[in-house]
Structures are given as structure tokens and as C-alpha cells.
Amino acid sequence: MSDMNELVQRYLAAWNETDAAARQAVLAEVFAQDAVYTDPLVSVRGRDGLDATIAAVQGQFGGLVFSLGGTVDAHHDIARFTWHLGPEGGEPIVIGFDVAVIGDDGRISQVLGFLDKVPAGA
């Protein structure tokens, strides 16, 4: 996947995929086997850890969807972007900012995530 915008869209698609087998297929497409994902709430290595993290987020925020919150800014092998989590077409209840590092194979090798807006009690 050479197009950074497409890669980020597929990344968000993984977070929205509720079917476990389909999500694992997207994760294999988008992430390196030993990719590292770190945000203020979790730090995991590998697709299985990321899959478990996504399943947990979906359990907590069922029915909500991730969407791109603006344009993807990228250079070299790094992309940064804002994402929203909320009802489809509605006001986001969570807003975050991720920085993704892309490996030589075109897959994401690392994500550093930040949370800008989180509802109380989440």
C-alpha cells in the first residue's frame, strides 16, 4: 500500500470492523506482524494485541464509528492524522491524534496515539 491516505483509511476500517475474522484480515493487510501500538490507555505489540485492544474499545463504545477528522499529513515514512469516534455522521464523543510509522513493506510498524477529547468516566 503506497498511498498514505488509503493506508490510514484501512487503519480506521480495522477499528470499525466488528467481525473478528474480517478484522484480523484487515490487520494483516495494514500492520506489520510485530507492530507496536501505544496510547495513554494501552501499549501492545503484535496484531493479536491490537486485535484484542480494538475488540475492547468496540465493547466499550458499541455502535460508534471511527472516522478521519481531517487530512492526513505525511512525509517520508510517517503519517499523522486526527480521528473521531462517534455516531455515524454525528458529533464525535472521542477525538484522538495518531502518528503512524510505516515500515519498508508499506505496513504500519508503530502507532503513537494521543487522546484529545474523552468523555468523563471512559
Residue type, 52: A
Please state, as a whole number, how many other Cβ atoms lie within 10 Å of the Cβ of residue 72. 17
Q: Is the pLDDT of residue 122 over 80?
A: no
pLDDT digits (tens, 9 = 90+) for 1-60: 449 999 999 999 999 999 999 999 999 999 999 999 999 999 999 999 999 999 999 999
Buried b (16+ CB within 10 A) or exposed e, 104-115: eeebbbbbebee
pLDDT, average across residues 86-110: 97
Percent of the chain clearing pLDDT 90 (strictly above): 94
